[in-house]
């Protein structure tokens, strides 16, 4: 709900010591209690499954191209206005509750999206 408290986590993730993505994540404190800074260095989804005992069921994603802001360009070691691949995601638990809203912005020339659809 609008007046509920939520974590707001901003992380820059790297591959081979080169920044490739900046992530902005919101998660409700009520569903994900006890998250600590040390937990952000590992898998948040593992924390949710193992520490919170919750089952993640699905992710709904929207993908689009955006331009790097000044802060993003600095943190991702790229140029202002460089193309970024933005993935907006809402994660759901098996109960149907949304547990995550995140936006990740990936450096266009350092990121590939591979998708497999099962029919």
CATH at 78? 3.40.1410.10
What confidence score (pLDDT) does residue 117 get? 67
Q: Name the more confident of 119 and 110.
A: 110
Q: Which long-range contacts (CB under 8 A, 24 or more apart) does 112-118 make?
A: 113/63, 113/85, 113/87
Residue 115 lies in a domain: no
Residue 118 lies in a domain: no
Work out the mean pLDDT of the chain and round it to a whole number.
Answer: 92
Residue 23 lies in a domain: yes
**pLDDT mean over 69-82:** 96
What's the pTM value of the predicted model, to 2 decimals? 0.86
Residue 73 lies in a domain: yes
Its domain, for residue 44, covers 6-110
pLDDT tens digits, 15-55: 999 999 999 999 999 999 989 989 888 889 999 999 999 99
Answer whether residue 56 shows pLDDT above 70. Answer: yes
- The two structure tokens encoding residue 27: 């998660």
| Cα torsion 45, 58, 105, 108: sign | positive
Residue 12 lies in a domain: yes
Percent of the chain at pLDDT exceeding 90? 78
The number of domains in the chain is: 1
**Residues in contact with 18: Cβ distance below 8 Å, sequence separation at least 6, in sequence order:** 77, 110
What confidence score (pLDDT) does residue 3 get? 86
Residue 1 lies in a domain: no
Residue 28 lies in a domain: yes
């Amino acid at each position: 709900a609008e007046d509920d408290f939520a974590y707001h986590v901003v992380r820059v993730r790297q591959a081979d010591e080169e920044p490739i993505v900046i992530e902005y994540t919101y998660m409700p404190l009520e569903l994900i209690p006890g998250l600590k800074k040390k937990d952000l260095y590992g898998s948040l989804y593992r924390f949710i499954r193992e520490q919170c005992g919750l089952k993640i069921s699905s992710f709904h994603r929207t993908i689009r191209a955006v331009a790097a802001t000044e802060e993003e360009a600095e943190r991702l070691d790229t140029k202002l206005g460089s193309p970024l691949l933005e993935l907006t995601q809402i994660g759901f638990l098996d109960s149907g509750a949304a547990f995550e809203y995140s936006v990740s912005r990936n450096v266009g020339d350092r990121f590939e999206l591979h998708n497999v659809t099962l029919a």
